[in-house]
Homo-oligomer: A and B are copies of this chain.
Amino acid sequence: MPPPPKLDRLEASNPMTDSKANPVAGIELGGTKTVVAWGLPDGTIYEEHRFPTTRPDETFATAVAWLRERGMPAGIGIAAFGPVRVNPSAPDFGSMLATPKEGWRGFSMTDALKKAFPGVPLVLDTDVNVALWGENVLGAAQGTSDAVYITIGTGIGAGVLSGGRLVHGALHPEFGHLKVVRAPGDSFKGVCPFHGDCLEGLASGPAIAARWGKAAVDLPPDHPAWDMEAWYLAHGILALLAIVSPAKVIVGGGVSQSSVLHAKIAATLKEAAAGYFGDGDFSKLVVPPQLGQEAGIRGALLLAGRAQP
């Protein structure tokens, strides 16, 4: 008679608890680069591959070929630039909507993946929502069910977690196009082709470059640009506090890498809130990401392990 199996071996052979038995795939589709990863549904990355985002068929062919070499994943999580249909019950779930990116409008990411990985469950969300999910499970927004991830780069976007669920809304939220009150003395007309001086028009990377004649990365910490940037972000965050009351607001993206920005936002927020929206210590509310560039792809692996985010 063979000896009774040890408990740890029993657990290890249980497909419900042994995540190693079920590797998953993550895809982070950005406007300029794509990342694919092979890993675990707890967000662990075994291997990843980064390559430029080109035409949709070509981009997905590259992603699929790389993933297939690694095997058949138990699930695929996708973080996509948008606008994209993320409602799983919509007939065009997984399709790109009216994006200006050439060739992508109407492309179905889910169709491309279903063909290559028949029967494998797909979970898809917007890039900001997936990055927030990553930071919520593994990073700077752990332990709360109400958080926001703001990214500031070429544009401005935000993912919102409310009551433990990612907010999608009826159409799709467009945080970057929020109207914000002007910083004192600011008369820059803004760069948004639709709204001029919406948040994105006044505080995105291109707005900073147009206003100051230099890219954000070249502006020293004592440059007045950072006070103005903090004003606009603080007022964007004030709107979030008034509407969804997050416990944590992660400010990430290229422009946010200045060492002084988060503290300046917290100080402006304290003044603008005037005793409202919490105990006044906004330095714990406004924080940088902890997962850095990995938030999106690790979030995609986490999503892959879930039927519904």
Q: Which residues of A are at the interface with B, using a C-beta cutoff of 8 A? A: 144-146, 158, 160, 162-163, 165, 167-182, 194-195, 235, 238-247, 272, 274-278
Contacts and interface: CB of A to CB of B under 8 A. Distances in A.
B276 A194 contact: yes
Given A163-B165, A239-B239, 4 more contacts: A162-B169, A171-B241, A178-B239, A240-B243
A167 B162 contact: yes
B179 A182 contact: no
Nearest to A145: B170
Contacts of A146: 168-170
B195 A276 contact: yes
Nearest to A240: B243
Contacts of A272: 179, 195
B174 A241 contact: yes
Question: Max chain B CB contacts within 10 Å: which of A162, A171, A275?
Answer: A162
Contacts of A175: 242-243
Contacts of A181: 179-182
The 7 closest A-B pairs by CB, nearest first: A169-B245, A170-B247, A178-B242, A146-B170, A173-B245, A239-B239, A194-B274
Contacts of A244: 160, 162, 167, 169, 173, 243-244
Contact of A177 (B169, B179, B194, B242): B242
A169 B239 contact: no
7 contacts: A144-B170, A171-B247, A173-B244, A174-B241, A177-B242, A181-B182, A194-B276
A174 B278 CA distance: 11
Question: Max chain B CB contacts within 10 Å: which of A170, A171, A194?
Answer: A170
A170 B274 contact: no
Given A175-B243, A181-B179, A243-B243, A165 B165 contact: yes
Contacts of A235: 179
Contacts of A238: 178-179
Given A181-B179, A275-B194, A243 B173 contact: yes
A237 to B, nearest CB: 11
A277 B177 contact: yes
Contacts of A241: 171, 173-174
A200 to B, nearest CB: 10
A207 to B, nearest CB: 17
A114 to B, nearest CB: 25
Nearest to A238: B179
A250 to B, nearest CB: 14
A294 B239 CA distance: 29
A246 B162 CA distance: 14
B277 A245 contact: no
A243 B178 contact: yes
A277 B246 CA distance: 23
Given A170-B247, A175-B243, A242-B173, A195 B274 contact: yes
A170 B275 contact: no
